[in-house]
């Protein structure tokens, strides 16, 4: 113990032999530098645009809310082809099955019976309507009529990007929704982000020289493009926001292209008094906080490290926002363990105490001559 005290005394004497002005300058330099920069905000002073937004993980979004209706597979729609079979009470009459097409107005021309509005009916309702018309128009007295689908009209859509099985898919016309397209493509991949674009060709005759249009509302038209072939429009949707709103059906047309964008890589930079400074990727589905980032950087390189500066760039502002916190306070109070935003720079700063500590360690090591590790 006496030997250790002697070495410590020699180290202190070595420090005291330095010129006093140099010691004062080294101690006050961080304060001078801080005074030249913009005022730092405390964590409890953050508000509005200065606060890092929480992570919106598409993996936890309830995508079933992307539709506002439940579609029946036996609902007749325009363009469907039906098989209508008529069985009468005449002994010498043969059963007749005739294919009929439902027009765009929902009307079908049934042989012998005439035109009927079948669009929007269930198969059993269509059978009842045809039977009633056959009797009411005096065609048959007591017919037995069955209706079945020969071919349902479908929309061909293309799904690309961050889905399990990109490709072309045929969707029933009465259930051609964004949700149905994503399900047909096997769902979102593990790399999927929350942004989706629907690109669709405009009908012939649409203006090809219309100026670009931008809409702020979620899921509305965001741009209008033209090409030498055919003009098209793009609809942008954020799946997380749309799922929160709920009960909004994003219907698809024949020929639409659905593109699921991969999630962007989100990083923070940690510098200063840490063991592994550098750029680190943020988790894609959870928030990253100050102490988490320090842990990802291998922890503190000095037991005296405490002061933290977080430099944050806010859209629309030229100057960086400076947030000053502390490791000690972050461990004691969640307010100081601030949530980080992509692009943040976390700097574990030197302070007069930490610099004096490191100087003391260096002097003591020099004094001891490396024969023993003091700290």
| Predicted local distance difference test score (pLDDT) of residue 216 | 40
**Phi and psi at residue 297, in whole multiples of 5°?**
-95, 15
Structure tokens at 226: 């033209």
Q: 283-294: per-residue pLDDT in tens?
A: 988 999 999 999
| Predicted local distance difference test score (pLDDT) of residue 47 | 85
CB atoms within 10 A of CB 35: 8
**Core vs surface per residue 267-286: b (16+ CB within 10 A) or e:** ebbbbbbbeebeebebebee
Q: How many helices (H) and strands (E) in the chain?
A: 8, 16
| Predicted local distance difference test score (pLDDT) of residue 352 | 80
| Predicted local distance difference test score (pLDDT) of residue 369 | 55
DSSP state of 360: H
Question: Tens place of pLDDT for every residue, the chain, 375 residues?
Answer: 454 445 445 544 544 544 444 344 344 444 434 444 467 889 888 888 889 989 888 888 888 888 766 667 788 988 999 999 988 766 566 778 899 999 999 999 999 899 999 998 999 999 999 999 999 998 888 889 999 999 998 999 999 999 999 999 999 887 888 999 999 999 999 999 999 999 998 876 665 545 444 444 455 545 545 444 567 799 999 999 888 887 677 889 999 999 999 999 999 999 999 999 999 999 988 999 999 999 999 999 988 889 999 999 988 888 899 999 999 999 999 999 999 999 999 999 888 887 777 777 766 665 655 554 444
Residue among 248, 251, 261, 218 nearest 236 (CA): 218
Torsion angle defined by CA atoms of residues 349, 354, 359 and 365, in that order, rounded to the nearest 10 degrees: -110
Domains of the chain: 30-55+266-357 (3.10.560.10), 67-71+155-262 (3.10.560.10), 81-151 (3.30.1950.10)
* Whether 251 contacts 176, CB under 8 Å: yes
Write the CB contacts of 267 (distance below 8 Å, at least 6 apart in sequence): 279, 280, 281, 282, 342, 343
Report the C-alpha gap between 183 and 157 in whole angstroms. 12
| Predicted local distance difference test score (pLDDT) of residue 69 | 63
| Predicted local distance difference test score (pLDDT) of residue 365 | 66
Helix (H, G, I), strand (E, B), or coil: what is residue 26?
A: helix
Alpha-carbon torsion (21, 22, 27, 28), positive or negative: positive
Helix (H, G, I), strand (E, B), or coil: what is residue 238?
A: strand
Q: 152-211: per-residue pLDDT in tens?
A: 989 999 999 999 999 999 998 878 889 999 999 999 999 999 999 999 988 766 655 454
| Predicted local distance difference test score (pLDDT) of residue 28 | 44
Helix (H, G, I), strand (E, B), or coil: what is residue 244?
A: helix
| Predicted local distance difference test score (pLDDT) of residue 148 | 94
């Amino acid at each position: 113990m006496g030997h250790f005290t002697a070495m410590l005394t020699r180290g202190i004497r070595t420090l005291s032999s330095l010129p006093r002005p140099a010691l004062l300058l080294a101690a006050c330099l961080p304060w001078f530098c801080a005074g030249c920069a913009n005022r730092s905000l405390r964590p409890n002073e953050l508000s509005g645009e200065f606060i890092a937004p929480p992570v919106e993980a598409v993996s936890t979004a309830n995508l079933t809310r992307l539709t506002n209706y439940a579609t029946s597979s036996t609902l007749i729609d325009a363009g469907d082809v039906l098989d209508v079979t008529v069985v009468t009470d005449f002994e010498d009459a043969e059963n007749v099955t005739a294919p009929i097409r439902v027009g765009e107005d929902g009307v079908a021309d049934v042989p012998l019976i005439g035109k009927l509005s079948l669009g929007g009916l269930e198969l059993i309702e269509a059978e009842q309507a045809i039977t009633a018309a056959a009797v009411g128009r005096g065609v048959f007295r007591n017919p037995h009529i069955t209706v079945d689908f020969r071919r349902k009209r479908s929309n061909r859509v293309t799904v690309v990007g961050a889905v399990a099985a990109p490709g072309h898919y045929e969707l029933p016309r009465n259930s051609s929704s964004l949700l149905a397209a994503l399900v047909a493509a096997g769902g979102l991949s593990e790399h999927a982000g929350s942004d989706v674009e629907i690109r669709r060709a405009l009908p012939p005759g649409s203006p090809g020289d219309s100026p670009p249009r931008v809409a702020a509302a979620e899921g509305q038209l965001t741009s209008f493009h033209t090409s030498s072939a055919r003009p098209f429009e793009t609809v942008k949707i954020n799946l997380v926001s749309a799922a929160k709103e709920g009960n909004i059906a994003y219907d698809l047309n024949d020929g639409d292209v659905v593109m699921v964008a991969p999630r962007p890589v989100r990083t923070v930079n940690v510098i200063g008094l840490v063991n592994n400074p550098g750029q680190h990727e943020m988790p894609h589905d959870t928030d990253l906080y100050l102490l988490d980032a320090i842990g990802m950087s291998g922890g503190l390189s000095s037991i005296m490290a405490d002061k933290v500066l977080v430099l944050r760039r806010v859209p629309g502002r030229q100057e960086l926002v400076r947030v000053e916190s502390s490791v000690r306070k972050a461990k004691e109070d969640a307010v100081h363990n601030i949530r980080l935003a992509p692009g943040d720079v976390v700097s574990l700063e030197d302070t007069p105490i930490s610099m004096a500590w490191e100087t003391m360690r260096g002097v003591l090591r020099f004094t001891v001559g490396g024969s023993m590790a003091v700290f």
